[in-house]
Structure 1
């Protein structure tokens, strides 16, 4: 599994770009995770992502502006296969109607990830990436400013666990935890009342070979390689490293 870091800025508006990556098994077909505002620049910077049909699918971890504004730059990708939770689809249809705006340009195929209500995690697969096993886990976070419902709900934000079935190597990608005091013990000061701390703790307690996390959140003692998303002048704790745009991770 190859992971290409496209945007290494943390979420929450510090800086404007949020963490976004592309995943591939063969270097030809890619899964894009999050579509940051400067996705067009990021794609131009990486020829492997420019070939026709290279981007097979898009997975959105939340509906924050830093994660979704790049959708408009993907209007020439036909059709657009989008994976996200029901709440993210709701936000992008009503509060910030990017998906209806895309319809005149390209077909958008929705693939809901069943993380909502009592369902705080879900395993799923993506056609074209049969060698990878995916799991989405609800994590705490603030509702987007454009959301019509202001109270946080399960499915507003997810973290992603990806396991390569061939090598057994596992990646955890969780860029949306900035501003929450969250670690293996559970969420901090009531960021999401519906989110079960025990369920989150079990998710983070599972082993992973690589953790791609916000610099200010995530399990501090997690075993495995820890790569932090944040400004290039951010402090890096011991046994961790700072991500940079264009970074390639091989698992």
Structure 2
């Protein structure tokens, strides 16, 4: 199984266009050892030719242009992207669908019923796309049962619900439903190798920990280093968990969780621009390195 990290940043990317925090200003001025990041997305394949795109960020055009395996190869209009699996309906994970409107065939989109509802009402991308390429929606199960995707050989997908809030524009923003956010296990059928992908994790439920412990690689939420990171940066008073993200530090943070996942390769993705781990010379980054946790970057390739 091949995994390509198309984008590794949180919403807004890094540096964020209007942010003057230590990280963003430091990167622009060359004062910290860091690299820029687009908004989070990955692609997965078993044959390096036919790919499933996970989320469609606003940066999708730049990401796909930098990814030669997805370039058109057959005919005047073509792409290596055969299907799209949406983790949630957040703006930073779905707006790129508008860029993909130039497809010559309907987009094959796999997502939960709640995500479909959001993208048909509060943020009606599906309805908008009806005037362009159209959408073939495939509902993802929430009970962990497996399914395959047409045109994608040797991979099976398992999805389960995560505790999270729907986006601010959602009709049920303050009434959480199963399927607002999902985690995904991707299994290569021939080898049994597994990837667990969950860029938004606010709570480690038993089925989440079980999926992580059975995986060969976990690619999970690395948004914030600490619970009050946004207020420390002088940006807002929202706390990490209030925004649906488990911080890395603390007695019950992601670092401690990943200590219970000994066999897997552990990689953080969806890194917010305020997170000190973006500075590769920071003590926080060293803390991760010392316990064997990696930080995803745009263009990173993972072979399982």
Instruction: Please give the TM-score of this superposition, normalised by the length of structure 1.
Output: 0.85
Q: Tell me, what secondary structure is at the counterpart of 1:10?
A: coil
Q: Tell me, what secondary structure is at the counterpart of 1:69?
A: helix
Which of 203, 210, 216 is residue 211 of structure 2 equivalent to? 203
Cα offset, 1:201, TM superposition: 4.2
Cα offset, 1:149, TM superposition: 1.2
Is residue 93–residue 100 contact of structure 1 (8 Å, CA) maintained in 2? yes
Q: Tell me, what secondary structure is at the counterpart of 2:116?
A: helix
**2:97 — aligned with what?**
71
Normalized per residue, the structure richer in helix is 2
CA distance in 2, matches of 1:29, 1:156: 27
Greater shift in the superposed pair: 90-99 or 125-134: 125-134
**2:119 — aligned with what?**
92
Cα offset, 1:250, TM superposition: 0.5
Which of 30, 51, 59 is residue 30 of structure 1 equivalent to? 51
Q: Tell me, what secondary structure is at the counterpart of 1:129?
A: coil
**2:258 — aligned with what?**
220
**1:163 — aligned with what?**
187
The Cα offsets for residues 54-101 of structure 1, whole Å up to 9 and x where unpaired, read as: 110000000001110000010112221000000000000001000111
Instruction: Verify: 1:174 aligned to 2:194, yes or no.
Output: no
CA distance in 1, matches of 2:207, 2:4: 29
CA distance in 2, matches of 1:167, 1:139: 27
CA distance in 1, matches of 2:210, 2:4: 27
Structure 1 unpaired stretches of 5+: 187-197
**1:4 — aligned with what?**
4
* 14 and 41 in structure 1: CA distance in 2 versus 1, 3 angstrom threshold: closer
* 27 and 200 in structure 1: CA distance in 2 versus 1, 3 angstrom threshold: closer
Is residue 3–residue 45 contact of structure 2 (8 Å, CA) maintained in 1? yes
Is residue 46–residue 153 contact of structure 2 (8 Å, CA) maintained in 1? no
RMSD of equivalent CA atoms: 1.9
CA distance in 2, matches of 1:203, 1:248: 22
Is residue 7–residue 42 contact of structure 2 (8 Å, CA) maintained in 1? yes
Matches within 5 A, 1:1-251: 1-10=1-10, 18-51=39-72, 52-77=78-103, 78-115=105-142, 120-150=143-173, 151-177=175-201, 180=202, 182-183=203-204, 186=205, 198-205=206-213, 207-215=214-222, 216=224, 217=246, 218=254, 219-221=257-259, 222-223=261-262, 224-229=264-269, 230=271, 231=273, 232-233=278-279, 235-236=284-285, 237=288, 238-251=291-304
Is residue 196–residue 211 contact of structure 2 (8 Å, CA) maintained in 1? no
Normalized per residue, the structure richer in strand is 1
CA distance in 1, matches of 2:180, 2:13: 19
Structure 2 unpaired stretches of 5+: 17-37, 73-77, 225-245, 247-253
CA distance in 2, matches of 1:139, 1:14: 23
Is residue 158–residue 185 contact of structure 2 (8 Å, CA) maintained in 1? yes
**1:191 — aligned with what?**
none
CA distance in 2, matches of 1:18, 1:139: 21
Is residue 113–residue 122 contact of structure 1 (8 Å, CA) maintained in 2? no
